[in-house]
Amino acid sequence: MLLSPKLSFDKRLAFYFWGIFFSCLERIATCNHLYCPHHIELVHCLVLPPTHQYNNERVNRVLFRLHEKRIMIPTGSADDDTTRKVPDVGTRPTTTTTTAWPLFPPPPGVDYTKNPTVFGKILQGKITAKVLDESPELLAFQDIRPRAPLHALVIPKRYIPTIANLNSQEEIGTNGSIQLLQQMEVMAHRLLKQHLTYEQYQSNDYLLCFHIPPFTSVDHLHLHVLAPASQMQWMWKDVKYNIHQRWCISLEEVQSRLQRGQSAIPYDISDPWWKILYQVVCPAYGRK
């Protein structure tokens, strides 16, 4: 951005500042991180000058994108609570106050505050997510970085760290784990029927899988629902979500192992790093 040398140093500095400011604002507006609190907190702290006229096309485009994302910007001074917003169908409503969004009703005996993960904050209402489905025991929402046209995460509202903990939870037990997986499967197929054609669903053009520790991104049990699998890039379908590798396992295999009285995963999560590395190269090594 080049400015006329006739302008004073202070005015040129101000123009450069606002140019950088709106560039950053545009990046926030166009990002896909639907439940990143830093972006929302940053925008909520912005106070736009009430006397400034926003006739610039780029500024209007930025503000429009922010409204599309349901992020509200104060339109007056710091003491003015007047806000503008655009409602978004399918997500929880937001407010400009520090009050959390309505909680998802927890199952009996479940305390969301004991869940230290980002999913726990979603359940508490401190972080927003694009919710796709909900039941008394489960919550399904869109992945922050979708790797398929449909990439949902189905999580239990009860805090279970990983798939390896399913048969070691005292309050759940093996039978409870099998029932929980069945509920997750029902919710996953409900989402698949909503997003796939009849032919795609009948041809099993989808993936239902878990990641195996230590290859988990969030230490809260979550089932990946990806569809259509035929439209996924090879690096996601054949690598990251490949159920024949050391780091991934299908929902069907977990259910089968638990029904046979085996552990949920075929590996020992206490294996040293060198053994895990060898299992990555040769998945059959150390498989139980």
CA dist 191 and 286 (Å) reads: 35
A 10 A CB-CB count for 251 gives 22
Residue 225 CB contacts under 8 Å (≥ 6 apart), including other chains:
140, 150, 151, 152, 153, 154, 188, 191, 192, 206, 207, 208
Q: Which of 39, 211, 220, 222 is catalytic?
A: 222
Contact 209, 243 (CB under 8 A): yes
Q: Give one DSSP letter per residue of the chain, joined into a string.
A: ----TTS-HHHHHHHHHHHHHHHHHHHHHH---TT-HHHHHHHHT----TT-----HHHHHHHHHHHHTT--EE-S-TT---EE----TTS----SSSPPPPPPPPPTT--GGG--SHHHHHHHTSS---EEEE-SSEEEEE-SS-SSSEEEEEEESS----GGGGGG-TTTHHHHHHHHHHHHHHHHHHHHHHHS-HHHHHTT--EEEEEPTTS-SSSS--EEEEE-GGGS-HHIIIIIT-TTSTTEEEHHHHHHHHHTT--SSSS-TT--HHHHHHHHH-TTTT--
In the residue annotation, 222 being an active-site residue is answered as yes
- Residues annotated as catalytic are 222
